[in-house]
Amino acid sequence: MQENTNNIPAPEGSVTAKYPELGSGLIPVEPYISPEYFEREKKHIFKKTWLHVGRADQIPKAGDYFVADLEVCDTQIIVVRNRQGEIRAMHNVCSHRLNEIVYDKRGNTRKLFCKFHGWAYDLDGNLTGVPEENSFFNLDKSKFGLTRVACEVWQGFIFVNMEPNPAQSLEEFMKPVYGSIEGYPWDKLKEGFRWTSVVNCNWKLALDAFQEAYHVAYVHGNSIADAIDRSTSVEGMPPLDVICGDVHRRLSLAGNQKSVYGNPKAVTEGGAAAQQALSDAANARPIAAAALRAGVGSAKEQFPLDALPEGVNWTKSPNWLFDMNVIFPDFYVSLRPNYFQAYTFRPVSHDKTMVDARVFYAEMTTAGGRFFLEYMKVALRDVLLEDFSTLERTQRAAQTGVKKHMIVQDRELMVRHAYHAVERMLARGEAQEAASNQ
Amino acid sequence: MSIVKSLPAQFAELAPYAPIWALATETERNIQRHTVGMDAIYEYSKAILPRVDEVVTFLNAIPLSDLDSKPEAMTLMQMLLSLAEIAPAVEFYKQPAVIDGYDSRRFVADETFVMSPHP
């Protein structure tokens, strides 16, 4: 029975048919529940791939730093801005007797001091001071700096790579799928909010919950399902288009503009867009309507739709809602006309994921604008609590072993591609390893 | 224990709600939403909504960066942020918690995130 289902090709006109190499079959459950599979992912994906750890805006001044927990790479990384304004990354391990150098998760410092014996390093990780230096045996300080990690920045997003000499630069990694969104107004979106949670599920299961809109009508039935356009006979939220790269993937969505949450451009455009968003909200959702009235005109910057780079809303839909962007392996960025969300689904173990969810809005100049942001942020947070409601339940259900496969429809193409991208990278990594062992 | 938090004179009728809803952080506001019960949430929403545009107009006259030195205005601002906090309870769920939702106490707001606005 399952074999037969595997063999039905996706029909012409479906987004799945654009990528015949992905097939149209069932997706195995094993990668979501197997500790052995997770060890392969650690070795061949997470320890070799560019991983997002934060925004450059989080460390604006020289000496600003934060610590990224990367259990999936068996380490902790200090990310710091040096005196020249460059961002550096190094393992949080002292060269002397290996204590963790930084205890706080973030801060500002002139130098990095080890609290065990007082060894001091500059912001590039060079060893600059050793108490009782003469009691060591001709210690050559230039050889014993902190261990640096490859670190590059793309569009303000800081990435690190555990490979001493990464096979691709960050730019080479990003360009093929994301070159066309460079120039998105990141720099106008600096009012950020952040939540974290350790969720007892596999990292792919968490990511999957965000890389399709099939769930909106059900999981979000009480909240933002009014973003679904009910004015036509089309059921649900079909993607405008899906782009599957070698490992990255993108999906663009349209929706009903007559809602405050679903029509964020209303607050920065005002006028007709605001009237449209308010038309249904004024009676049904008076707090939402009050927040939008309070916010119109408060944004410090303009966000004209025609100034967005061509890769954002690439089908040029007049009812565009947002683009989902998954940056391999575990980073999700949702781009809207005047705000964006950035979520990492970073594995801790095969059944545990550290989620770091951030949202960035336009700077508001008034209390009314701040009220609007709080409305949008709280609504988003509660929508995320809906998204998260399935994760641990799905993981437990997967671990029963009752089902060996999942069924994926056309509009869940990104879930299908995600499985293939991981498989592809595991196969490449293991082929390379086999070749180098010969 | 009662906390006295006064409001600008023209909003004196909202003063009974200040000790409950004038809270400085998202975490405190969210905990309060899950503590006071739906009747109290509806009561506050009904009390402030008819005045909300006036509250916004009053606060818009004060630069956000000056609120720290104007305790009555800050109290009013925090009450406005609490209205945003209870909006989903009133307009989405008709109950304090997200229906079938993930535990909000496990979804931890980073109150010291460097990019977060103040207040």
List the CATH number of the domain containing A214: 3.30.530.20
- What pLDDT, on a 0 to 100 scale, did the predictor assign at position B2? 45
Looking at chain A, which residue has its C-alpha nearest residue B49? A287
- Measured between CB atoms, which of A198, A284, A378 is closest to B84? A378
Q: Would you say residue A34 lies in a domain?
A: no
> What is the separation, in whole angstroms, between the first and last Cα of chain A?
41
Q: Residues A325, A311: contact at Cβ < 8 Å? A: no
B→A contacts (Cβ < 8 Å), by residue, are 26, 45, 49, 52-53, 56, 59-60, 62, 64, 67, 77, 80-81, 83-88, 90-93, 98-102, 104, 106-110, 112-117, 119
Question: How far from chain centre, in Å, is Cα A236?
Answer: 25
What's the token pair of residue A208?
């999957």
Question: What is the rounded CA–CA span in Å between residue A215 and residue A173?
Answer: 30
In tens, the pLDDT along A384-396 reads 999 999 999 999 9
In tens, the pLDDT along A313-333 reads 999 999 999 999 999 999 999
In tens, the pLDDT along A18-69 reads 999 999 999 999 999 999 999 999 999 999 999 999 999 999 999 999 999 9
In tens, the pLDDT along B73-83 reads 999 999 999 99
Question: What is the rounded CA–CA span in Å between residue A4 and residue A394?
Answer: 25
- What pLDDT, on a 0 to 100 scale, did the predictor assign at position B5? 81
Strands A191-199 and A241-244: unpaired
- What pLDDT, on a 0 to 100 scale, did the predictor assign at position A438? 82
Chain B environment of A194 (Cβ under 8 Å): 109-110, 113, 115-116
Looking at residue A342, its amino acid is A
Helix B52-60 and helix A286-295: axis angle, to 10°?
20
* Count of C-beta atoms within a 10 Å radius of residue A127: 21
**φ, ψ dihedrals at A139, nearest 5°:** -60, 120
3-state secondary structure of A340: strand
- Measured between CB atoms, which of B67, B77, B92 is closest to A382? B92
Domain that holds residue A272: 183-415
Q: Do A231 and A317 reside in the same domain of the chain? A: yes
In tens, the pLDDT along B96-118 reads 999 999 999 999 999 999 999 99
* Count of C-beta atoms within a 10 Å radius of residue B107: 21
Question: How far from chain centre, in Å, is Cα A213?
Answer: 17
3-state secondary structure of A151: strand
In tens, the pLDDT along A348-389 reads 999 999 999 999 999 999 999 999 999 999 999 999 999 999
User: Containing H/E element for B42?
Assistant: helix B38-48
Among the candidates A175, A204, A219, a domain finishes at A175
Q: Would you say residue A238 lies in a domain?
A: yes
Q: Do A345 and A401 reside in the same domain of the chain? A: yes
Q: Does the distance separating the beta carbons of A375 and B84 come in below 8 Å?
A: yes
- Please name which of A148, A120, A115, A147 lies closest in space to residue A133, comparing C-alpha atoms: A120
Question: What is the rounded CA–CA span in Å between residue A274 and residue A296?
Answer: 8
Domain count, chain A: 2
Q: Would you say residue A188 lies in a domain?
A: yes
CATH number (domain holding residue A160)? 2.102.10.10
3-state secondary structure of B11: helix
In tens, the pLDDT along A104-157 reads 999 999 999 999 999 999 999 999 999 999 999 999 999 999 999 999 999 999
Q: Does the distance separating the beta carbons of B80 and A366 come in below 8 Å?
A: no
Q: CA Rg, chain A, in Å? A: 24
Q: Does the distance separating the beta carbons of B59 and A368 come in below 8 Å?
A: yes
- pTM of the model as a whole: 0.96
Q: Do A221 and A152 reside in the same domain of the chain? A: no
CA distances (Å), origin A313, targets A239, A262, A320, A337, B115: 11, 15, 7, 9, 27
Q: Do A62 and A207 reside in the same domain of the chain? A: no
Q: Would you say residue A310 lies in a domain?
A: yes
CA distances (Å), origin A2, targets A6, A21, A25, A96, A413: 6, 19, 9, 58, 19
pLDDT at A281 over 90: no
Split at pLDDT 50, 70, 90, the class of A3 is very low
Interface of A with B in 62-91 (CB under 8 A): none
3-state secondary structure of A253: strand
Q: Residues B84, A291: contact at Cβ < 8 Å? A: yes
Interface of A with B in 171-210 (CB under 8 A): 190-199
Q: Would you say residue A15 lies in a domain?
A: no
Q: Do A242 and A290 reside in the same domain of the chain? A: yes
Looking at chain A, which residue has its C-alpha nearest residue B115? A192
Chain A environment of B107 (Cβ under 8 Å): 195, 197, 381, 384-385, 388
Would you give the DSSP letter of residue B53? H
Interface of A with B in 209-248 (CB under 8 A): 222-223
Q: Do A91 and A230 reside in the same domain of the chain? A: no
Among the candidates A142, A175, A208, a domain finishes at A175
Q: Would you say residue A161 lies in a domain?
A: yes
What contacts A156, CB < 8 A, 6 or more positions away? Answer: A55, A56, A57, A186, A187
Looking at chain A, which residue has its C-alpha nearest residue B44? A287
CA distances (Å), origin A412, targets A16, A221, A394, B43: 9, 19, 17, 43
When the pLDDT of each residue in chain B is averaged and rounded to a whole number, the result is 95
Q: Do A143 and A213 reside in the same domain of the chain? A: no
* Count of C-beta atoms within a 10 Å radius of residue A219: 20
Q: Do A143 and A193 reside in the same domain of the chain? A: no
pLDDT at A261 over 90: no
Q: Residues A236, A297: contact at Cβ < 8 Å? A: no
Question: What is the rounded CA–CA span in Å between residue A201 and residue A393?
Answer: 9
**φ, ψ dihedrals at A315, nearest 5°:** -85, -5
- Please name which of A367, A17, A409, A358 lies closest in space to residue A208, comparing C-alpha atoms: A409
A175 — alpha (psi -120 to 50), left (phi > 0) or beta? alpha
- Min distance B22 CA to chain A CA atoms (Å): 14
- Min distance A364 CA to chain B CA atoms (Å): 9
pLDDT at A214 over 90: yes
pLDDT at A229 over 70: yes
Question: What is the rounded CA–CA span in Å between residue A361 and residue A303?
Answer: 11
Q: Do A158 and A85 reside in the same domain of the chain? A: yes
When the pLDDT of each residue in chain A is averaged and rounded to a whole number, the result is 95
Q: Residues A177, A314: contact at Cβ < 8 Å? A: no
Q: Do A198 and A128 reside in the same domain of the chain? A: no
Chain B environment of A195 (Cβ under 8 Å): 107-110
Q: Do A213 and A124 reside in the same domain of the chain? A: no
Q: Do A259 and A120 reside in the same domain of the chain? A: no
Q: Taking the domains of chain B in order of start, what are their residue ranges?
A: 18-98
Q: Does the distance separating the beta carbons of A222 and B92 come in below 8 Å?
A: yes
Question: What is the rounded CA–CA span in Å between residue B15 and residue B7?
Answer: 6
Would you give the DSSP letter of residue A93? -
Q: Would you say residue A12 lies in a domain?
A: no
Between residues A5 and A182, the one the model is more confident about: A182
Q: Does the distance separating the beta carbons of A58 and B116 come in below 8 Å?
A: no
A108 contact B CB<8A: no
Q: Which residue has the tokens 């500059």?
A: A122
Split at pLDDT 50, 70, 90, the class of A4 is very low
Q: Would you say residue A152 lies in a domain?
A: yes
Q: Does the distance separating the beta carbons of A375 and B102 come in below 8 Å?
A: no
Looking at chain B, which residue has its C-alpha nearest residue A57? B115
